[in-house]
Amino acid sequence: LPVFLFVAAPYIRRYVAGGRCKSTARLEGKVVIITGANTGIGKETARDLAQRGKVIIACRDLAKGEAAASEIRAETGNQQVIVKKLDLADTKSIREFAEKFLAEEKELHILINNAGVMLCPYSKTADGFEMHLGVNHLGHFLLTFFLLERLKQSAPARIVNVSSLAHHGGRIRFHDLHGEKSYNRGLAYCHSKLANLLFTRELARRLQGKSRGEQITANALHPGSVYSELVRHSFIMTWLWKIFSFFLKTPCEGAQTSIYCAVAEELDSVTGQYFSDCQPAYVSPRGRDDETAKKLWSVSCELLGIQWD
């Protein structure tokens, strides 16, 4: 068995690594926002895109954000890697981030909604939303709402939402969206990842029909099972992640589909789709439910106190 594992190891790793983004597209003169890009796949996405154009790292922890940006600047030679404070668990912070960005930047070409929380003990955001739903879905929903006009002005533009294979285990529980009647941290994550997919689907539907000059695409993706800090709230998962790290993607490998959705030329007019390993992937029936997608959109607007027609 040890001999077999030794011989098979490179092939196993190659399989685990999955697809790679092969696009060499440049982003000169273009602006990219990546949420949660101070660590994990967000940081690796920023590292790659910083070799192509201007990147804004939007994150809650400015010290970690600056450390990541400094490392990326040194490695790529691109000084246009900028850190801005954004706490997706606080709608006030989201509004402030958007206002500052819109005042300072006249264009936005790619928005990557990457940040997320996973397996959190029950808690609520500053606005009283269950943490997974509030950060993973509602926070990015509101951020996209605030930035959409700038994306339209800069079109063609892309919105990339990082979802997960975990959406297969999710349901949109309209009767208990904030988990006050029953709560399971694993299922709460699944529910929020399903919400990411339904948001992408409805957003793409609403944006379609634009002329080529105004085109904005919206796609979602599963990054793979990645060895990252995302499981830090669970001792068991952290332990298992360390034991089975050989069978998990590195953050760089996990970032490939985000990069692909952001820059691949063949996706110029592709919208409302879901990708994994840089290719189309299967979406669960719940993730294809247009009625649920429309209702979630309406309920999200009500919760956030916005009108988005």
44/10 Cα distance (integer angstroms): 22
Does some domain include residue 86?
yes
Does some domain include residue 136?
yes
The domain that holds 161 is classified in CATH as 3.40.50.720
CB atoms within 10 A of CB 303: 20
Per-residue tokens: 129: 């939303």
Asked whether 48 and 76 are in contact (CB, 8 A), the reply is: no
Please name which of 194, 200, 222, 215 lies closest in space to residue 132, comparing C-alpha atoms.
194
201/203 Cα distance (integer angstroms): 6
Q: Catalytic annotation on 189?
A: yes
Per-residue tokens: 130: 């269950």
Query: DSSP of 64-86, one letter per residue?
Result: HHHHHHHHHHHHH----EEEEE-
Peptide bond before 121: cis, by omega within 30 degrees of 0?
A: no
Expressed as residue numbers, the domain containing 104 is: 26-304
Does some domain include residue 19?
no
For residue 184, how far is the Cα from the chain centroid?
22
Number of folded domains in the chain?
Answer: 1
> Tens of pLDDT along the chain (309 residues)?
465 544 554 545 455 667 899 999 999 999 999 999 999 999 999 999 999 999 999 999 999 999 999 999 999 999 999 999 999 999 999 999 999 999 999 999 999 999 999 999 999 999 999 999 999 999 999 999 999 999 999 999 999 999 999 999 999 999 999 999 999 999 999 999 999 999 999 999 999 865 454 699 999 999 987 645 555 555 565 545 455 454 577 889 999 999 999 999 999 999 999 999 999 999 999 999 999 999 999 999 999 999 998
Does some domain include residue 15?
no
Does some domain include residue 231?
yes
Of 189, 227, 260, 274, which is the active-site residue? 189
